[in-house]
Amino acid sequence: MDAVIEIREVSKSFQGQSVLERCSLNLQKGEIYGLLGVNGAGKTTLMKITGGFQQPDEGEARIDGRDSWEHREKIQSRIGSLIETPIFYEHLSARENLEIHMAYMGQNRDITGALEQVGLSRTGRKPVAKFSMGMKQRLGIARAMLHNPDCLLLDEPINGLDPVGIQEVRDILLALAERGTAILISSHILSEMEQLAHRVGILAQGKIVEEFSPSMMRAQYGEDFEKYVIDIMRRKQV
């Protein structure tokens, strides 16, 4: 089966400091891939390169066969992404922000349904400036998935969400994957990855140093599962 996301031997340095070093990974249609790594491991950088928001020094990222950097405008109009803190028109409401986004994407989708899905349907005319961090995060998720993208890039999407929000987002992502969306998601929270990801990759020393299926790993290691994974992350840290 063809991969929706293909990252091949991507390298990236900032001011001579290598962050990614010949990093490769693939994602299939309908797959949720969890990117796990310590602070500064390069997860956000990898997400940005995947979505064509940053140019790799070497190697390539492809979405649906297209080079993400070369075709970044087209790619970014097709994928959904939530990378770092989402930026909104702060003086406008949640609905107005989504309307502007839809106009930009040249689409007309069910904004009411999307707001309901993320629990923001009753925010009315309240400007985003008055939203809590979790509410902004929910709005970012609604915006990322509003146009039913084939591919979603989500950098720590449950950051700032309450347990209800986490459950809602988890259900939404599982349903999207069920319908065929490929989802690359980063998180620091292993238990969250376990409940969501089909495959988890540990990013350390600039590349994926270990890949596993959380359910198989749990079956194999039982209660020692977390310890095993944290040990790998610790050992591979530079």
Asked if 43 interacts with ligand ATP (CB under 6 A), we say yes
* Strands lying side by side in the sheet with 17-28: 17-28, 3-14, 58-63, 66-67
1 near ligand ATP, judged by CB under 6 A: no
Query: Nearest distance from residue 204's CB to ligand ATP, in Å?
Result: 10
Nearer to ligand ATP, 40 or 180 (CB): 40
Closest to ligand ATP by CB, 13 vs 77, is: 13
Q: Are the CB atoms for 182 and 27 separated by under 8 Å? A: yes
Give the shortest CB-14-to-ligand ATP separation in angstroms: 3
The reply to whether 95 sits near ligand ATP by the rule CB under 6 A is: no
CB-based contacts of 117-125 (< 8 A; 24+ apart in sequence): 117/142, 117/168, 117/172, 118/142, 118/165, 118/168, 118/169, 118/172, 119/164, 119/165, 119/168, 120/94, 123/93, 123/94, 124/93, 125/93
- Number of residues near ligand ATP (by CB under 6 A): 10
**Would you count residue 81 as binding ligand ATP (CB under 6 A)?**
no
By CB under 6 A, residue 39 contacts ligand ATP: yes
DSSP state at residue 121 = T
Which x/- pattern, by CB under 6 A, does the window 9-38 give for ligand ATP? -----x----x-----------------x-
The answer to whether residue 42 forms part of the interface with ligand ATP (CB under 6 A) is: yes
Instruction: Give residues 102-141 in contact with ligand ATP (rule: CB under 6 A).
Output: none
Residue 157 touches ligand ATP, criterion: CB under 6 A: no
**Binding of ligand ATP at residue 44 (CB under 6 A)?**
yes
Of residues 23 and 145, the one with the C-beta less far from ligand ATP: 23
Q: Based on the shown chain and the rule CB under 6 A, indicate whether residue 45 belongs to the binding site for ligand ATP.
A: yes
Per-residue DSSP letters for 38-96? -TTSSHHHHHHHHTTSS--SEEEEEETTEETTTTHHHHHHHSEEE-SS----TTS-HHH
Site mask, ligand ATP, residues 170-199, x = CB under 6 A? ------------------------------
In Å, how far from its chain's centre is CA 178? 16
Is 41 an interacting residue with respect to ligand ATP (CB under 6 A)? yes
The amino acid present at 67, given as its one-letter code, is D
The reply to whether 207 sits near ligand ATP by the rule CB under 6 A is no
199-204, strands of its sheet edge to edge: 80-82, 151-155, 182-186, 32-36, 199-204, 207-212
Rounded Cα distance between 33 and 14, Å, is 26
Nearer to ligand ATP, 87 or 103 (CB): 87
Query: Residue 194: in which H helix or E strand, if any?
Result: helix 190-196
- Binding footprint of ligand ATP on the chain (CB under 6 A): 14, 19, 37, 39-45
